[in-house]
Chains A and B, each alone.
Chain A
Amino acid sequence: MDRQHPMDIQLLRLLPIASAEGPSYAGLVFYVALVLLAIFLLTGMAKKGFKDRVFTNKLSQHAEQMYLFVESLCINIIGPHGKKYIPFIGTIWLFIFTSNSLALFFPTAPTADFSFNLALALIAVFYVQFEGIKGHADHLLHEGKGAFGAWIGGFFRHMRHFAGPTMGRNGAIEVAVAIVMPCLLFPIELVSELMKNVSLSLRLFGNIHGGHVAVESLNHLWAPFAMSGNDVYMPLGGFLLLVKLLTVIVQALVFCLLTCVYIGLVTHHEEPHGEHAEAH
């Protein structure tokens, strides 16, 4: 308990309400718990229908549609080896979609908070880097290096992606270009990689929190017609509900699609292993 703020303000911070800076920590925990409750309730009810060969439970049919959606996203964008990323992308999609849907009914939601979205974006981008390094390291391990050397080599080969295209080295000018161009491109690529965090988080935050701000502004629009001099709020923001529903679906899709695109960009060095078979 800090001594600078009065007691009622400190107690107010524990309530799950939205303020100008967003919900407090306890408020965010409350809303995350609400989202998890929604997810577990719905999937628990859908799980009962998974025993049948043909799903008759409506929730099971919807759950199958959601799984097929995530599966098509992973396999069409990443490739045939995208199957192992379905749990990760599916978890992210389910959480973002449920949290966005709850943002339609509650004053805040986890995805309406910038720090939560930044955490999700950091998880996604760092997972992409990890998958890139792991792919190279597995390739080096397969070729017979030790574990430590494979991971170090994998790290440097992953950083090689940021150095730009491979140039030939015939002649003095091409050698000079091959030295100068990575020096120019590496900072730009690094900044672009850091921008992925910002763009993923800010897009989701701006759309969902912006929906709340827009509804609040529309509600306040009734104030000139109020009979007394008081602040009157009329629920005019309800007209935005349909647009916000489109935003809810699109933003969940775009987050997962961009994560799939980033994973596909770093895991595309799968050479056919037939050439290794010949060497053995």
Chain B
Amino acid sequence: MMMIGLGLAILGAGLGFGLIGYGAMTGMSRQPEALGRLQTAMLIAFAFVELTFLLTLFLAPASFSKL
């Protein structure tokens, strides 16, 4: 059951990463001189989406098992 939950979590995170990349690439293609700033912003957004998956991976089993 935990595997299904983890699969759902990474499904959402994967969609998030794809949207981040899509937005970043669209911006980079519209304005190539903003490449550096867009790359930095993309990595920041990547960290936040990654965080939600890592919270599910590490905190959810700990909080839902008998402590």
Residues of A at under 8 Å CB distance from B? 198-199, 202-203, 205-207, 210, 250-251, 253-254, 257-258
> Which stretch in B3-11, B22-30, B40-48 binds the other chain?
B40-48
Q: Are B43 and A254 in contact (CB under 8 A)?
A: yes
Which of B44, B54, B59 interacts with A207 by CB under 8 Å? B54
Task: Report B8-56 residues with CB < 8 Å from chain A CB.
Answer: 43-44, 46-47, 50-51, 53-55
Q: List 23 A-B contacts (CB under 8 A).
A: A198-B55, A198-B59, A199-B51, A202-B54, A202-B55, A202-B58, A203-B47, A203-B50, A203-B51, A203-B54, A206-B51, A206-B54, A206-B57, A207-B50, A210-B54, A250-B43, A250-B47, A253-B43, A254-B43, A254-B44, A254-B47, A257-B44, A258-B47
**Chain B, residue nearest A73 (CB):** B40
Name the A residues within 8 Å of B46 (CB-CB). 250
Total A-B Cβ pairs within 8 A: 35
Residues of B at under 8 Å CB distance from A? 43-44, 46-47, 50-51, 53-55, 57-59
State the majority secondary structure of interface residues on B: helix
State the majority secondary structure of interface residues on A: helix
Q: Are A251 and B47 in contact (CB under 8 A)?
A: yes
**Chain A, residue nearest B55 (CB):** A202
Name the B residues within 8 Å of A205 (CB-CB). 54, 58
Q: Are B51 and A202 in contact (CB under 8 A)?
A: yes
Name the B residues within 8 Å of A198 (CB-CB). 55, 59
**Chain B, residue nearest A251 (CB):** B47
Given A207-B50, A210-B54; A202-B59 close (CB under 8 Å): yes
A253 vs B59: C-alpha distance when bound (angstroms): 24
Name the B residues within 8 Å of A258 (CB-CB). 47
A22 vs B35: C-alpha distance when bound (angstroms): 39
| Extra 20 A-B pairs, beta carbons < 8 Å, given A202-B59, A210-B57 | A198-B59, A199-B55, A202-B55, A203-B50, A203-B51, A205-B58, A206-B50, A206-B53, A206-B57, A206-B58, A207-B54, A250-B43, A250-B46, A250-B47, A251-B47, A253-B43, A254-B43, A254-B44, A257-B44, A258-B47
A113 vs B45: C-alpha distance when bound (angstroms): 24
Report, nearest first, the 4 A-B pairs whose CB atoms are least far apart.
A206-B54, A254-B47, A203-B51, A250-B43
Name the A residues within 8 Å of B53 (CB-CB). 206
A44 vs B47: C-alpha distance when bound (angstroms): 33
A254 vs B40: C-alpha distance when bound (angstroms): 10
Chain B nearest CB from A70 CB (Å) reads 14
Name the A residues within 8 Å of B47 (CB-CB). 203, 250-251, 254, 258
A204 vs B58: C-alpha distance when bound (angstroms): 12
Chain B nearest CB from A53 CB (Å) reads 28
A253 vs B50: C-alpha distance when bound (angstroms): 14
A206 vs B47: C-alpha distance when bound (angstroms): 11
